[in-house]
Amino acid sequence: MGKETNLLEELDIRFIVDGKGNKKEVIISYDKFKELMQVIEDHIFLHSPEIQEQIKQSEEDIKAGRYMKVKGSEIDKLLEWLDEGEK
């Protein structure tokens, strides 16, 4: 349990245990809580059916050559190209 203990201490995660030593509750800092909530929200977002469909469509577009490589200075060119695709 040495590696687990070191990792938990490094992440500032603490447990409340009962009289038998069973873990019953977890204590984490508010910053760690916010970080974990962001991970959960990102996971839910990325695995939503709508986003999965957009990712699938994007992959199909790339395979079919429907993309454009641009440099930062060519952003206007890209936007025009995207507008043409919507017509």
Tell me whether residue 30 is in a domain.
Answer: no
Tell me whether residue 5 is in a domain.
Answer: no
Name, in order, each residue with C-beta under 8 angstroms of 26's C-beta and a sequence gap of 6 or more.
13, 14, 15, 16
Tell me whether residue 9 is in a domain.
Answer: no
Q: Say what the pLDDT of residue 2 is.
A: 60
Q: Say what the pLDDT of residue 55 is.
A: 94
Q: Say what the pLDDT of residue 57 is.
A: 95
Closest CA to 29 of 17, 13, 41: 13
Mean pLDDT of 3-30: 83
Tell me whether residue 12 is in a domain.
Answer: no
The structural domain count of the chain equals: 1
8 Å CB contact between 20 and 39:
no
Tell me whether residue 77 is in a domain.
Answer: yes
Query: 26-81, pLDDT tens digit by residue?
Result: 999 999 899 999 999 999 999 999 999 999 999 999 999 988 888 888 888 888 88
d(CA 5, CA 11): 10
Tell me whether residue 58 is in a domain.
Answer: yes
8 Å CB contact between 13 and 25:
no
Q: Domain containing 55: what range? A: 48-87
Q: Is the pTM of this model over 0.75?
A: no
